[in-house]
Structure 1
């Protein structure tokens, strides 16, 4: 069913103000320049997987209405690194963004449009008035209907201007690698060769076998053009593949492929037979998974999804790892903030750990919260280490203790909005959006600390040679790198191999005898804070089921609100999870500032109002997460109104 987006009352759109523009040939763009066009403002930040989903959702809409629709990406950074203009320019190139982008590092335009979450979409009509405002992803069908409505209205009024928009494509650059994502050393013979490394050449949409010199391409799989197609090495297509893993030889002989690829933007797992060159699809139907939308609310969050993996939706698998302990391929499912598993022998796909809620919560499989899980590694004890990027965290799944129900534990990291560059005590140490991790033979763990441009080392508490106990500590191995996204120990055991994404290369780094220790401090995401009044504080989230759907009240209230805060002491009453989308909180007057973490959910099924929902009706779970910085002040807001899916 198509979402119906209700039109807003006529409010004039604010001017677009920022540091500069990309994809315009160096020209500034004003709303006056866009008069006569339908404009979509896409408030995004390049760390955010949901924002990347929206970029892909908008592409068909932009192509269909290229003569009357202009998308403007308003880049409003979350992390400090994302405010770097060079990093933003690299992200615009990497994600092949083909519309103008406004660099808004001070969040001036973000504030002017009252954006509260990434991503936020604002539609402006040809006369310069705001037509709709939406948060989250999954709105393309409703937006298509809105665009068609606006076209008809303004064509009739004579206010629609057809023709080219302000987008100017950049000059193409030829490179061997283009924004490589992940790599693994070739540890056994693959199709007659055991030389070098398998590399996800992400920006070229292909998988390479790179020689020991890190420059010679020995073999490749994929045409080099983004797309989706199974076939031989020269005709198959990928779309921004990230993780790769090599399967055990005995298993590979039984199932007919050696390598598993996380084909990220295709939302699929792919297999490569390195002897024949054949590329096949192993799991995923190509439809993005939207947080358990395929399950009823009575089912458990974790567990088996069956043995027909081609019928199951995935969401941006970012890394894959063959785990001897689990006996399956473990998947960092970044798009739903979970960890999945896939058994190549049986085809069973399962949610291995994580509720699908975004955050930093430790515990068992049905308790854990992740935030864009992006890197995986297994240590000698069988435990799986995770780079949890959006919480800037290093976490470990204790699979070696209980592979069937592992507990996740956070070693470094504080929350969604806390990051920095600090070594020392792991409880005080800080990372910034890490994407890769590897376990070393000495029991320590290296992290590709992507947005700090560094390789960091975590060493747990251990006994020194003299018998004394050494406390756990974090140190820095190397820095000055351009967005390192993966790291592992080379075959000689003396050097590290780093995937330096924004330098378009793999690079070797000597492992120093002593590790550099730095402390550049911890920080929090600096978004404008909402002034609120201490004491009683109201919270309301509105939700309207799309046309053709109705709230699924067969098992009680189909809506749910989960509220917490940083620090936890900010909310003295009203935190926790309850049914309904209204809540009264009590805010502690002794706390001067903090962040309200709000997750709203609603379940709706296909059907008409006033009629019973058919037994086999398709049902849908809608969810939106907000992290809203607040400052307690006299005269501040006494209530907060939010919109689930942004329908006004």
Structure 2
């Protein structure tokens, strides 16, 4: 394991971008924030790990509200995310209650040498970087450091207490607010997950008239006749043999909930309410952690689960009340083959067609399916390629799709969310066409009387379209995130992790760290791919491959180190990186990835 040694105080680079949200129109500079502890959260709104961190930070921001200013630095991955209106909608959708810097050119991202979403940077009241951490699970460490900074700068007289620059936007009021998914009920009404209102809404078939709202509208996880949800998404009808007709993916609660359509009663079916980070994935449904279930589908006698939070598919068996991993390894990417060896990338939409389970992987802009234990990709080229292009599936492109719907002829309609379009894939001809455009972030679609009813999420309503298709020959895009240059031949990949203050690596039950490295294409790494328990790995890079992506998953378990503590508090830190690399002569032979602490050689761009 590599530990961090801070060798120099590094002045935090200024915040540079296109504009600001949640500041009442004011610009914000680090000079203005001198005397405050500043936490920069580098995020992009497509990223499930970034959404997890937004929720993790809420109690930290509340606890230290008089000394801490959190600033979201939005550095987009997809073209759509660089649209200022799309960012404004996302800030509302995910209830971001701190200032947000719009960084569409990744200027501030590069100035801070960031390599992964999400990355957190802590800046002291004098304007120096004191801590950097990538990924999730860092809140306790941050809280400890913040308390130390408060004590230090209180004593020095350099800490200023009081309000920060956050200004809440004007509230909005619509019947639906960022609806996510919808289904047709047995009584031919429409059931919609109203995610930003934390509830489920039943509508007449016109898609507008409200019959009832299930849920109080407040975030929560209460069961019963006055239930609460937290950003619910996927819905699926199930046989009512256990007292519920619908299974709801209660995404931010990391739960599956059951809904009785007759009574409106809600029960919890699966999950503990805690987010899965490591450990068991198979067992009694109420004992196994889930992670951001985004969609659900009744398939092969149970409920398939798009487990967006760890890039896997799960399965809930209502007869045995067991959950299990259906497919995936937790590595983010595209890898076909046997279900247990497949890589997924934030699966966000499911649809069953007999023995075939269709899915869309949003982060690889891919349409895929699972059938007979095998995963196959129909459309999609990887984590950093996307666009709006129709035609043969081998050349067709999507942009962060969130929904898929089986049509009567066994073709599928794709809610191509970041292209603001509905697309149709025909398995008979292996081609992709466009059905409709100019839809505000479609996230799901229903087929009712030969008409598509689309969940136009960012328009806060349902819209109707015919199934007529046109052809669009649009541009292909690649993520403009800068590649990292590495040398051919022997290089060292080092994950930097320092256990938080007052903790040590937990070796009581075996190795406390784990590192998994793969690549796209696989031939990029000639030697060194695979799994080990050390956070430093020697790799041999192929000089015949000029560009690729290193997929890195690292985790470290740490516990409180007080010998008098009979029951130490333990935590697991985990991060995955998809690092675009370019193999060039005379490039560095060491690639450091910072998971928590400070690198040996802190960087500051000029």
TM-score when normalising by structure 2: 0.93
Structure 2 counterpart of 1:368 = 342
**Higher mean Cα deviation, 57-66 or 40-49?**
57-66
CA contact (8 A) 1:5 1:143 kept: no
Structure 1 counterpart of 2:26 = 27
What is the distance in 1 between the residues matched to 2:415 and 2:426?
A: 15
What is the distance in 1 between the residues matched to 2:356 and 2:572?
A: 33
What is the distance in 2 between the residues matched to 1:423 and 1:527?
A: 25
Matched positions, count: 595
- Unmatched tracts of structure 1, length 5 or more: 189-193, 296-301, 463-470
What is the distance in 2 between the residues matched to 1:92 and 1:554?
A: 41
Cα deviation digits, residues 257-316 of structure 1 (max 9, x gap): 2221111111111122222222221222211111xx234xxxxxx6xx223x22321111
Structure 1 counterpart of 2:602 = none
What is the distance in 2 between the residues matched to 1:623 and 1:100?
A: 26
Is residue 2:182 matched to residue 1:204?
A: no
SS of structure 1 residue aligned to 2:391 = coil
What is the distance in 2 between the residues matched to 1:181 and 1:148?
A: 39
Cα deviation digits, residues 118-156 of structure 1 (max 9, x gap): 000000111111110000001111111111111111111
Cα deviation digits, residues 207-237 of structure 1 (max 9, x gap): 01011121110011011122222221xx321
What are the equivalent positions in structure 2 for 1:397-416 lying under 5 Å apart? 397-398=370-371, 401=372, 406-416=373-383
Structure 2 counterpart of 1:475 = 433
Change over 3 Å in CA distance of 1:455–1:198 after alignment to 2:
same
Structure 2 counterpart of 1:264 = 251
Counterpart of 2:453 (choices 485, 494, 497) is 497
Counterpart of 2:290 (choices 295, 307, 314) is 314
What are the equivalent positions in structure 2 for 1:78-227 lying under 5 Å apart? 78-186=77-185, 188=186, 194-227=187-220
Cα deviation digits, residues 324-355 of structure 1 (max 9, x gap): xx211111111111111112232111111111
CA contact (8 A) 2:283 2:324 kept: yes
Deviation at 1:610, TM superposition (A): 12
What are the equivalent positions in structure 2 for 1:135-534 lying under 5 Å apart? 135-186=134-185, 188=186, 194-232=187-225, 235-248=226-239, 252=240, 254-290=241-277, 293-295=278-280, 305-307=282-284, 309-323=285-299, 326-379=300-353, 381-398=354-371, 401=372, 406-460=373-427, 462=428, 471-490=429-448, 492=449, 494-512=450-468, 515-534=469-488
What is the distance in 2 between the residues matched to 1:605 and 1:178?
A: 40
Structure 2 counterpart of 1:640 = 591
Change over 3 Å in CA distance of 1:621–1:58 after alignment to 2:
closer
Structure 2 counterpart of 1:595 = 549
CA contact (8 A) 2:231 2:250 kept: yes
CA contact (8 A) 2:22 2:168 kept: yes
Is residue 2:71 matched to residue 1:72?
A: yes
What is the distance in 2 between the residues matched to 1:92 and 1:8?
A: 37
Structure 1 counterpart of 2:534 = 580
| Superposition CA RMSD, Å | 2.4
CA contact (8 A) 2:516 2:531 kept: yes
What is the distance in 1 between the residues matched to 2:433 and 2:402?
A: 17
Change over 3 Å in CA distance of 1:28–1:211 after alignment to 2:
same
What is the distance in 2 between the residues matched to 1:363 and 1:646?
A: 38
What is the distance in 2 between the residues matched to 1:594 and 1:413?
A: 16
SS of structure 2 residue aligned to 1:58 = helix
CA contact (8 A) 1:545 1:551 kept: no
SS of structure 1 residue aligned to 2:276 = coil
More strand by share: 2
CA contact (8 A) 2:498 2:597 kept: no
Tell me: higher relative CO, structure 1 or 2? Use CA pairs within 8 A at least 6 residues apart: 2
Deviation at 1:41, TM superposition (A): 0.1
Deviation at 1:559, TM superposition (A): 4.3
Cα deviation digits, residues 463-506 of structure 1 (max 9, x gap): xxxxxxxx41111111111110001211x1x2111100001111
CA contact (8 A) 1:333 1:340 kept: yes
What is the distance in 1 between the residues matched to 2:312 and 2:461?
A: 29
SS of structure 1 residue aligned to 2:95 = coil
Deviation at 1:588, TM superposition (A): 3.8
SS of structure 2 residue aligned to 1:182 = strand
